[in-house]
Amino acid sequence: MAIPPSGRREESEAPQRDPYLSLWQSAAKEVGLQATPSSPGVDASASTVELMSPVLIVSQLASARSSQDALGISIGELADDCARTVGRFLWAEIHRDHAAAAGFADELKKSECDPRWAECLKKYLLYKATGGHFPYRDHEDRVIELKDPVRLAIVGDWGTGDPIAVRLLESIRSLQPDLLVHLGDIYYSGTDEEAKRNFLDPIERVMGQRFPLFTLCGNHDMYSGGDGYYRVLDATGQGASYFCLRNKDWQLLAMDTGHNDCNPLTVATNMTSLNGTEIPWHLNRILEPEGRRTILLSHHQLFSAFGAVGKIDGTDFAYNPNLYSAFGEVLDKVEWWFWGHEHTLAVYEPYMGLQRGRCVGCSAVPVFKNQQSYQTNRNLKTLNPGEFAEWKPQAELGTIGDDYAHASALLTLTGKKAVVEYYQSSAEGGAALLWRESHEFTTDPGNR
C-alpha cells in the first residue's frame, strides 16, 4: 500500500511518533472498525479515515506555525467543527496545556457531534488513564535453547497489520526461517486489539499456528499501558521483555528499551534506558559467554548517523549515553547489535567500539523519500566530537514510487559461522537480496 504525501487517508493513518497522536489513532481505529453494515450509511473504512483527520490536522500545524492563531486559522480551513475541536484538544495535549485540553474535551462531550467523536475521546482518555503502571517483569532468567544450524528472520517496527507488513512476512516465509524476531513496535499504541489484529493474527495466518516468535518492547508497545504487549508475551510463551536465545556457539541477548520510553504523560526527551536490574543480567552473559559469541537485540538504537536518538538539556544526540554507559566497556565482545526504532536500513561500519551496528527498523512503516535521506546529520552531538557513523552505501534501501522500500534480515548460524542477508521488498510483494555479510570465528570469544 503506497502512501502518497497528498493522500489524506493514508497520511492520517501513518504511525505518528508523538504518543498523544498514537493514542488517538488507536482509539479512532477501534471506533471506526466498530461500524457495521447494520449501521445505516456507515462505512467502516470511511469512518476510520474521518476519525483520523485530527491527526493530519495536527501534523500539518506542526509543520507550519505553533501558535494559537495558526491553530484556529489552519484547522478552520481543514475540517468541520467536530474535527477542529479534536484537533485543538490534541494540540493542547501535545503542548501540555492541561486546562485547554480539558476545556476542549468538555466541549466535545456536550456538542451535537457524531457520537463516534465522543467515543474516540472516551477511549483515548481510557488509554491515557490506564497507561500509568507500565508492567515490567523483573528478575527473570528466560533462556531459550536454539538448534544448530538455525535461521532467524529479523524485522523491526513491523506491527502495522497492513498489506505491506503481510506481504513482507510472506516473502520471509519463502526463506524458510526457523523463528521470527521482531525488534518492537506494534502500532499505533500497542492496545490489546492492535496486538491481536496487527501482530498475532497476521503471523498466524502467514507463518502458521505456534510458529516460534519473539518480540522486543518498543515505545509504541507501551503507549497504551503495555498490557497488550505482555499478553503477546504470555500467548507466545516468551514470558518476559528481555531474554536470551542461544545454542552452543551463539547467544542473542534481547533487551527492553521500550519500558523507559513509554509514558505519554511524561515523555519529553525520549532518551531511553534499561531498568537497572536488567543491565547486570546482560553483562553477566557477555562477560561469561561459556564459549559463545554474543549478538545484542534492542528496539532503540545505540547510535544513528541520520537523526537524533534523543535530547538532553536541549541538545540532540547522535548516540544514547545511557546504553553506551551500560555496554560501552564490553562492546568489543559483541559481534552484532541489531536495533529498530528508526524506520530505515543501515549497515554501519565499526563505530564507538561496536563492530557491526545494524538498524532494521524498515519492515512496514511507510517513509516518503522527502522524509529522510542517507545523509549524515552533522548537527548532532557525538561521543567524540566530529566523529560520525558511516555506513555501507551498497546496503541502502531503494525506493518504490514515492516511498522507501521495506526490508528484513535473515541471520543464519551454523556452528561458529554467521551469515546475515538483508532482503528488500519489491512492488510486487517479493523480496530480493540487497546485501550479504558472512563471518566465521575460530578464536575464543575472550581473546579476539
124 prior amide bond cis, ω within 30: no
| Length in residues, the chain | 448
How confident is the model at residue 70, as a pLDDT?
Answer: 41
In sequence order, what E strands does 223-307 have?
243-246, 250-254, 293-297
Domain limits, the chain: 8-130, 143-440
118/116 Cα distance (integer angstroms) = 5
The answer to whether 415 touches 155, Cβ cutoff 8 Å, is: no
How confident is the model at residue 52, as a pLDDT?
Answer: 83
What is the DSSP secondary-structure string of 52-92?
HHHHHHHHHHHTS--SHHHHHHHHHHHS-HHHHHHHHHHHH
Q: b vs e for 42-65, b when ≥16 Cβ sit within 10 Å of the residue's Cβ?
A: eeeeebbbbbbbbbbbbbebeeee
How confident is the model at residue 8, as a pLDDT?
Answer: 34
Q: Quick one: cell of 309?
A: 536518538
Pairing of strands 315-317, 399-400: unpaired
End-to-end Cα spacing for the chain: 46
Convert the pLDDT of each residue in 349-365 to its tens digit.
999 999 999 999 999 99
What is the DSSP secondary-structure string of 321-390?
HHHHHHHGGGGGGEEEEEE-SSSSEEEBPSBTTBS-EEEE--SSS--BTTT--S---TTSB-SSTT----
Question: Which residue reads 483527520 in cell numbers?
Answer: 53
Convert the pLDDT of each residue in 59-91 to its tens digit.
666 655 444 444 443 444 444 778 878 888 888
Question: Which residue reads 501535545 in cell numbers?
Answer: 94
Protein fold of 143-440? Purple Acid Phosphatase; chain A, domain 2 (3.60.21)
Could you say which residues of the chain have pLDDT below 70? 1-12, 35-47, 59-79, 131-133, 263-269, 445-448
How confident is the model at residue 5, as a pLDDT?
Answer: 33
